[in-house]
Amino acid sequence: MGNQQTELSVMKSIEEMMAMAQNVQAELQKAQEGLDTIEVEGAAGGGMVKVRASAKGRIIGVEIDDSLMQPSEKQMLEDLIAAAINDARTKADLAANEAMSKMTSGIPLPPGFKLPF
C-alpha cells in the first residue's frame, strides 16, 4: 500500500513541476515580447549619427546630422553608422538582460539554471 502512495506522490510532484515549467515558459514568452517595446539609442561621432533600436535588436530608425551628407564624408559616415548600430546593439542587450532579470526574479528556478536566451 505504501508503495502505491509513494508513486502517486511522485506523479503529483512531476505534474506540479511540469505545470510550473509551463508557467515559466509563458512568463518568459511574455517578457521576450515586451522587449520589442523597450527602446534604446546608440550614437557615434558625438551624436552626429544616432540609431534607435528595440531591446530585441530591431532597428527602429537612423538619424544623420546634415553636415555628414557630403560625398567627401561617405567613408566616415559609413563608419559612424556601423559604430552607432553597434552601440545600439550593446545597449539593447543590456536593456534586454535587465528586463529579463526583472521578469524572472520572481520565478523559482533551480540554482545555476540558465535561461535559454
At residue 47, the 3 state secondary structure works out as coil
Closest of 108, 117, 105 to residue 20, by C-alpha = 108
Return the number of other C-beta atoms located less than 10 Å from residue 96's C-beta. 21
Domain range for residue 43?
A: 2-104
The answer to whether residue 65 is domain-embedded is: yes
What pLDDT does 88 receive?
A: 95
113 falls within a domain: no
On whether residue 116 sits in a domain, the answer given is no
Residue 111 lies in a domain: no
| pLDDT at residue 98, as a whole number | 87
pLDDT given at position 44: 96
Per-residue pLDDT of the chain (117 residues; tens, 9 = 90+): 556 777 777 777 888 888 888 887 887 787 778 888 889 999 999 999 999 999 888 899 999 999 999 999 999 999 999 999 999 999 999 998 888 777 667 666 566 655 554
pLDDT for the residue numbered 9? 78
Separation CA 7–CA 57 (nearest Å): 47
Euclidean distance between CA atoms 23 and 69, whole angstroms: 51
Q: For the chain, what is the domain count?
A: 1
> Which pLDDT score, from 0 to 100, does residue 117 have?
46
State how far the alpha carbon of 79 is from the alpha carbons of 23, 34, 61, 83, 84, in Å.
44, 31, 17, 6, 9
State the CATH number of the domain containing residue 98: 3.30.1310.10
Asked if the structure places residue 59 within a domain, the reply is yes
Is 29 domain-assigned?
Answer: yes
* Number of other CB atoms surrounding residue 58 within 10 Å: 12
Would residue 109 count as lying in a domain?
no
Sheet containing strand 49-54, edge to edge, reads 39-44, 49-54, 59-64
| Closest by Cα among 10, 24, 18, 34 to 113 | 24
Question: pTM for the complete prediction?
Answer: 0.66
CB 109 within 8 A of CB 24: yes
Q: Residue 54 falls within a domain, yes or no?
A: yes
